[in-house]
Amino acid sequence: MEKTMFGLALAAALSLAPISAGAEELRVGLAAIATSVDPHFHRAGYNFDLRENISDALVYANGVTGEVEPRLAASWEITSDTNWLVILEPKAKFDNGNPLGADDVIYSLCRVRNVPNSPGLYSGFIETVANVTDAGNGKIMIESREPDPNLLRNLSNIGIVENPTGRTLAYDDKTCGNDNWLDTNGFNNGAVSAGIGHYRVAKFTPDVEIVLQRNDQYYGKPAHYDTVVIKALPDNSARIAALLGDAVDVINSVPINAVESVQSAGKFHLASTPSTLLIFLLADQNQEPTPKVSGTDGKNPFLDPRVRKALNLAINRNEIAETVMGGMAQPASQIILDGVFGHNPDLAPYPYDPAKAKALLAEAGYPNGFSLVLSAPSDRYVNGAQVAQAVAAMLSQIGLQVTLETFPRSIYFTKASDYEFSLYLAGAAADTGEGLSQMINLAGTRDPDRGWGGANRGRYSSEVTDKHLAQAQATLDDAEREKLIQAASKQVYEDDGYVPLYHELGVWAVRNGIQYEANANLINIFYTARPE
């Protein structure tokens, strides 16, 4: 059966009409591709991929070195605890030849709060920004509400687009007195430029293909490939078949069971690195009743901390990491990866103790368990469906009656954002390369206006956690800030607010003769790829 399925996948992959690969073209097969060309539309990992290649931010947070590097901000100066003077790159120009101006930056920072129909705004990255003004002579002044040590790291995620209004907006935390926010469809059909980047989008076919052309007018170091063809290959077998069948040169999210076949082919090498991507379970901690639980007389069992503790004790993380993930994962007891700023080394790994988990369920009033639906994406994470199956089996061992449902990512996260799930599997990385932003995104009380809790669709909420995170945001001293982040992590741990499973290892398979950068943020950076 496996050989038959592989043969079908190979035939499908070869139908991608491979073109002879040379220095002029890089062909990439990804498990998930961007859902929009609009750099502000949806805060999700696959959209960070495209944005990084086509729409420069003020700075770049290097996922390999951890350093913050200049981009559209040529340099900057901290003039006080809350003021940053930024000098814009004088050589940066949009596709139409117009130079980058302060008004473009102000417009872009205003727009991230006002993107129509966004399923997940980028506004969390500007939560501390109080004002942005034109300081004259190619400079802007950014004022934060309180000291914000991660201001530039946060801004590294916001691509700068051209201001269409013909005026410089007066920045505020609402609409900036403007109603022209550029329609996302305009970005997708090419009517609107996504900004200034190493590449331009030549073709965008949702869920199928994105074609990039090198921007020869780029102000910085040019990309090495003229064209990048990005294919959506969510099916693991099809992605591997495309690589082995010479239809693509690079794939991400290498399936564990395909590593040996890739290496034995003799034409490829693996590029890998530990990643900040946490795969987790999150229970609905807000609604009562919760939509996909039965046998509880209408109660939401996950509002009881004993039930949440039982979930954590029911999971054999080592088994998942070693067997299901084939060693390509690190078991997790907290949101932040070991070695990343903010990780708390004092939090012990969760023990695997199904007997105690059963006892906690009985203590909470569920000696016979209850019925629930575990929801998971079918095409988003490496071995995600298999992990969900393993989790469902483990939860069944403590007396829960578990039904597993999966959805393609194209609808899964919309359902999650609409709070249609009671217990769901998802993942989130440290977008800025350190732990504070990841904690705010996952453990901060969900507040779209504030930009907190963007990925906290279970709506875990703790005043103590929020207090520590807010204080960390305003603390410039690194040691003190890290203590506050660690305190927040401890609170989430004690609340059993999350069921952290593991941090995924980032693995790419790359054709020999091509250098491709593996980075902890799992971003596909095409402009650093080069022929050897």
Q: Which residue has the tokens 């578990």?
A: 402
Q: What confidence category does residue 131 fall into, taking pLDDT thresholds of 50, 70 and 90?
A: very high
Q: Which of 199, 371, 395 is nearest to 316 (CA)?
A: 395
State percent of the chain over pLDDT 70: 96
- Rounded to an integer, what distance in angstroms lies between the CA atom of residue 285 and that of residue 468? 20
Asked if residue 80 belongs to a domain, the reply is yes
Asked if residue 37 belongs to a domain, the reply is no
- Answer yes or no: is pLDDT of 448 > 70: yes
Do 411 and 352 share a domain, yes or no? Answer: yes
Task: Render 338-352 in DSSP notation, one character per residue.
Answer: TTSTT--TTSPPPP-
pLDDT in tens, 69-118: 999 999 999 999 999 999 999 999 998 999 999 999 999 999 999 999 99
- Answer yes or no: is pLDDT of 379 > 90: no
Q: Which of 229, 255, 370 is nearest to 302 (CA)?
A: 370
Task: For residue 154, give Cα distances in angstroms to 61, 159, 218.
Answer: 9, 11, 23
Asked if residue 456 belongs to a domain, the reply is yes
Residue-level pLDDT at 434: 87
Task: For residue 466, give Cα distances in angstroms to 128, 153, 439, 462, 487.
Answer: 15, 20, 10, 6, 11
Structure tokens at 439: 């904690």
Do 178 and 233 share a domain, yes or no? Answer: no
- Answer yes or no: is pLDDT of 422 > 90: yes
- Rounded to an integer, what distance in angstroms lies between the CA atom of residue 56 and that of residue 104? 12
pLDDT in tens, 474-500: 898 889 999 999 999 999 999 999 999
Do 110 and 211 share a domain, yes or no? Answer: no
- Answer yes or no: is pLDDT of 17 > 70: no
Q: Which of 467, 434, 438, 428 is nearest to 150 (CA)?
A: 434
Of the residues 125, 148, 183, the one at which a domain ends: 183
pLDDT in tens, 41-69: 999 888 999 999 999 999 999 877 778 99
How many domains is the chain partitioned into structurally? 3
Query: Amino acid identity, residue 130?
Result: A
Q: Which residues contact 15 (CB under 8 A, 6 or more apart)?
A: none
Do 296 and 342 share a domain, yes or no? Answer: yes
Q: What confidence category does residue 244 fall into, taking pLDDT thresholds of 50, 70 and 90?
A: very high
Do 171 and 60 share a domain, yes or no? Answer: yes
Task: Render 55-112 in DSSP notation, one character per residue.
Answer: S--SEEE-TTT--EEESSEEEEEEEETTEEEEEE-TT-B-TTSPBP-HHHHHHHHHHT
Asked if residue 127 belongs to a domain, the reply is yes
Q: 100 and 89 in contact (C-beta within 8 Å)?
A: yes
Q: Which of 151, 174, 173, 171 is nearest to 163 (CA)?
A: 171
pLDDT in tens, 406-415: 999 889 999 9
Average pLDDT over residues 190-197: 96
State percent of the chain over pLDDT 90: 83
The dihedral of CA 481, 486, 489, 490: what is its sign? negative
Do 315 and 347 share a domain, yes or no? Answer: yes
Do 420 and 521 share a domain, yes or no? Answer: no
Asked if residue 188 belongs to a domain, the reply is no
- Rounded to an integer, what distance in angstroms lies between the CA atom of residue 259 and that of residue 438? 30
Residue-level pLDDT at 13: 45
- Whether the bond between 289 and the residue before it is cis, its omega within 30 degrees of 0, is yes
- Answer yes or no: is pLDDT of 443 > 70: yes
Q: Which of 229, 127, 84 is nearest to 449 (CA)?
A: 127
Residue-level pLDDT at 8: 40
Q: What confidence category does residue 23 fall into, taking pLDDT thresholds of 50, 70 and 90?
A: low
- Rounded to an integer, what distance in angstroms lies between the CA atom of residue 468 and that of residue 483? 9
Average pLDDT over residues 436-446: 95
- Answer yes or no: is pLDDT of 10 > 60: no
- Rounded to an integer, what distance in angstroms lies between the CA atom of residue 36 and that of residue 54? 12
Do 288 and 375 share a domain, yes or no? Answer: yes
- Answer yes or no: is pLDDT of 240 > 70: yes
- Rounded to an integer, what distance in angstroms lies between the CA atom of residue 375 and that of residue 332? 20
Structure tokens at 388: 């969900």
Residues β-bridged to residue 425: 281
H/E element, 297: none
Strands 83-88 and 73-80: antiparallel
pLDDT in tens, 133-191: 999 999 999 999 989 989 999 999 999 999 999 999 999 999 999 999 999 999 999 99
Residue-level pLDDT at 7: 40
Residues β-bridged to residue 272: 507
Q: How many residues does the chain have?
A: 532
Do 313 and 204 share a domain, yes or no? Answer: no
- Rounded to an integer, what distance in angstroms lies between the CA atom of residue 102 and that of residue 112? 16
Asked if residue 77 belongs to a domain, the reply is yes
- Answer yes or no: is pLDDT of 12 > 50: no
Q: Which of 466, 468, 503, 483 is nearest to 333 (CA)?
A: 503
Task: Render 359-377 in DSSP notation, one character per residue.
Answer: HHHHHTT-TT--EEEEEEE
Structure tokens at 520: 């902890």
Asked if residue 212 belongs to a domain, the reply is yes
Q: Which residue has the tokens 């705004």?
A: 121
Residue-level pLDDT at 229: 99
* 300 secondary structure, DSSP code: -
The parent domain of residue 63 ranges over: 45-183
pLDDT in tens, 311-361: 999 999 999 999 999 889 999 999 999 988 999 999 999 999 999 999 999
Q: What is the CATH number of the domain that holds 299?
A: 3.10.105.10
Asked if residue 328 belongs to a domain, the reply is yes
- Answer yes or no: is pLDDT of 3 > 90: no
- Rounded to an integer, what distance in angstroms lies between the CA atom of residue 161 and that of residue 45? 20
Of the residues 156, 183, 210, the one at which a domain ends: 183
Do 68 and 112 share a domain, yes or no? Answer: yes
Structure tokens at 239: 């992605």
Q: 142 and 151 in contact (C-beta within 8 Å)?
A: yes
- Rounded to an integer, what distance in angstroms lies between the CA atom of residue 262 and that of residue 266? 8
Do 409 and 288 share a domain, yes or no? Answer: yes
Of the residues 183, 211, 229, the one at which a domain ends: 183
Q: What is the CATH number of the domain that holds 263?
A: 3.40.190.10
The dihedral of CA 88, 89, 94, 98: what is its sign? positive
Do 411 and 518 share a domain, yes or no? Answer: no
- Rounded to an integer, what distance in angstroms lies between the CA atom of residue 155 and that of residue 40? 12
Q: 337 and 320 in contact (C-beta within 8 Å)?
A: no
